[in-house]
Chain A
Amino acid sequence: MAEHSSIHGVVADFDSPDTLLDAVRAARAKGYTKMEAYTPFPIHGIDEAMGAKQSILGYIVLCGSATGLTTAILLQWWTGSIAYPLVISGKPLFAFEFGFPIMFELTVLLSAFAAVFGMLGLNGLPRLNHPIFNYSGVAGSSDDRFLLVIEASDKKFDANETKDFLATLGAEKLEVIEA
């Protein structure tokens, strides 16, 4: 690890989604686990090929919604029947009938917050730069190129060996990128 601290990884540049997918499978078969693909559009099956786990975002959202629901119940119950009890149009001090719209809205609001901010957090965003931009051909990944990066944090990573391995998979361009 230490000797690679200034290297982000090795990038292999492919010309089609199919060669990229084959390369991902080959890299996984070889034992690499820390990799990332950069493509102009979503590619079916690449998550499974890379062994990407299901995101935990759903659970974060669930926590957000539970917090919203609890807050709404406590807020309405406490303000209406403890802090400032006041009978309005003959209704009970607290009832689920009138409390539910607020419960629904706060549940949705905090779920949405949890989803957006949780997603940003899990993606490590916001950030000012990413090492992939050190690759000379990075612009192609939003046009017609399909990039695979094997990252230096991978246990099997060795700049020269990894580069040689990726060369056998049909990459049209290979580059070691700085961290």
Chain B
Amino acid sequence: MSKHHHHDVPKDSYEIPTSTWEKGRNIIVAVFILGWVAALAGYSLDHKQFFPSYLVAFFFGAGIAIGAALFTMIQHLTGSAWSVPLRRLMENIMMSMPILALLFLPVAFGLHELYEWSHPGIMKTDALLAKKEAYLNPTAFYIRAVVYFVIWSFWAWRLSSWSRAQDTSKDLNLTFKSERISAPGMLLFFLSASLASVDWVMSLQPHWYSTIFGVYCLAGGMWAFFAILTFTLLRFRANGILANSVTVEHYHDMGKWMFALTVFWAYIAFSQYMLIWYANLPEETSFFMVRRSGTWETVSGILLFGHFAATFLFLLARASKRNLNVLRFVTVWILCMHYIDVYWLVMPNFSKAGVAPHWMDAACFVAVMSTLALGFWWRLKSAPIVAVGDPRLEKGLEFQNV
């Protein structure tokens, strides 16, 4: 409809200019080398510090990839048009899955450093833990991790490769096939990612349990995924990439998603806190006892006011969701808050006395995230950066919020 509004809009190239791509690659490779040298030096200096620091970084990256996969599948299931111009980038983030399987190796290797339950002696003598041994034992932990990564990588690969095949074939059947596998995919991802949160983070404190913990982690991961996607697009825009294809209308919608997930995360976080506070059972309150004492209480406060309240106010107005400068700030803010959130989940198990930031936290973060960034950057070169064969692309490009 009303085509004449758009015919004068210049078309974007759906390829990244080689010089820009090479510049980006050189920066990422340099950071990658720096990060891994620092992380490995850290490991050899103090492996007690290395494993928790690494787990925080790994879980941060995994949450984003899972968020990308879930959102891509939601787009297929709902037949969404607005998100089609962004979908290739989501797929490229989602394809972190096989790399994450490799990045999981240090966690698997550090099992005994990280997880109290991995020591059979403790499991036998502690009455509560003895009952959990059928689930919490190294063999089951490794098997489950393999199953998670097989599911995640397979779904990510199918959706991504069908989308790329459609670039040239324009085959409508690929759209229907993507829709079909997204339905079981949603169920499997939700279940497996919940269990992965339980395995990798919740079991750090093996006496404690919370049935909503998986959803809490998924909400945060998806939130960070939107922040990183929006931030990437804004950086692209600053370099003239997709500057006409991804308009303020698309940014507005991503702002709505970030806002919705800000509230969703808070809803889940509060539900977990309130039920534990009200029941007041020692088995359950242990999680919040350590996080409400000493300097950890300050971190809890930062999450309440920074993760939720401030982000809520930043994104509440329509005008701020349509202001790209506000969005750029908010995306960086969200990524910082999500890191603090993951840190707050993991670290109190290792430094109960209080917050103890370490340079290895930064080193591991840089190592893990630059590895994922490298994979993302390579995939930008191997296919157009927009799903050019998607039947809804034209509609998605012209999308406007009414």
Residues of A at under 8 Å CB distance from B? 17-18, 21, 42-45, 54, 58, 90-91, 97-98, 100-101
Contacts and interface: CB of A to CB of B under 8 A. Distances in A.
Residue among A18, A21, A44 with the most chain B CB within 10 A? A44
A90 B281 CA distance: 13
A58 B1 contact: no
B2 A44 contact: yes
B319 to A, nearest CB: 8
Contact of A42 (B273, B274, B398, B402): B402
Given A45-B2, A97-B273, 5 more contacts: A44-B5, A45-B5, A45-B400, A90-B280, A97-B278
B4 interface: yes
Interface string B92-132: 00000000000000000000000000000000000000000
Q: Which of A54, A91, A97, A100 has the most CB of B within 10 A?
A: A97
A80 to B, nearest CB: 15
B277 interface: yes
A117 to B, nearest CB: 20
A17 B278 contact: no
A44 B402 contact: yes
Contact of A98 (B1, B4, B274, B400): B274
Interface string B383-400: 000000000000000101
9 contacts: A17-B1, A18-B2, A43-B2, A44-B1, A44-B398, A58-B317, A58-B318, A98-B278, A100-B274
A90 B278 CA distance: 10
B8 to A, nearest CB: 13
B176 interface: no
Given A44-B2, A45-B2, A101 B402 contact: no
Contacts of A44: 1-2, 5, 398, 400, 402
B270 interface: yes
B264 to A, nearest CB: 13
A53 to B, nearest CB: 13
A38 to B, nearest CB: 16
Nearest to A43: B2
Interface in B254-279: 270, 273-274, 277-278
Contacts of B274: 97-98, 100-101
Contact of A18 (B4, B270, B277, B280): B4
B2 A17 contact: yes
A98 B280 CA distance: 13
Contacts of B2: 17-18, 21, 43-45
Contacts of A90: 280
B314 to A, nearest CB: 15
B25 to A, nearest CB: 39
A35 B265 CA distance: 44
CB-CB nearest 5 A-B residue pairs: A42-B402, A44-B400, A97-B277, A17-B2, A97-B274
Contacts of A45: 2, 5, 400
Contact of A100 (B5, B270, B402): B270
Contacts of A100: 270, 274
Nearest to B249: A44
Contacts of A91: 278
B268 to A, nearest CB: 13
A139 B99 CA distance: 60
Interface string B317-335: 1100000000000000000
A54 B280 CA distance: 48
A28 to B, nearest CB: 16
A133 to B, nearest CB: 25
Contacts of A18: 2, 4
Nearest to B4: A18
Interface in B311-351: 317-318
Nearest to A45: B5
Nearest to A95: B277
Contacts of A21: 2
Nearest to B1: A17
Interface in B225-283: 270, 273-274, 277-278, 280
Interface string B1-38: 11011000000000000000000000000000000000
A21 B278 CA distance: 59
A100 B280 CA distance: 17
Nearest to B398: A44
Contacts of B1: 17, 43-44
A90 B4 CA distance: 69
Nearest to B271: A101
A101 B274 CA distance: 9
A29 to B, nearest CB: 17
A42 to B, nearest CB: 5
Nearest to A41: B1
A134 B273 CA distance: 60
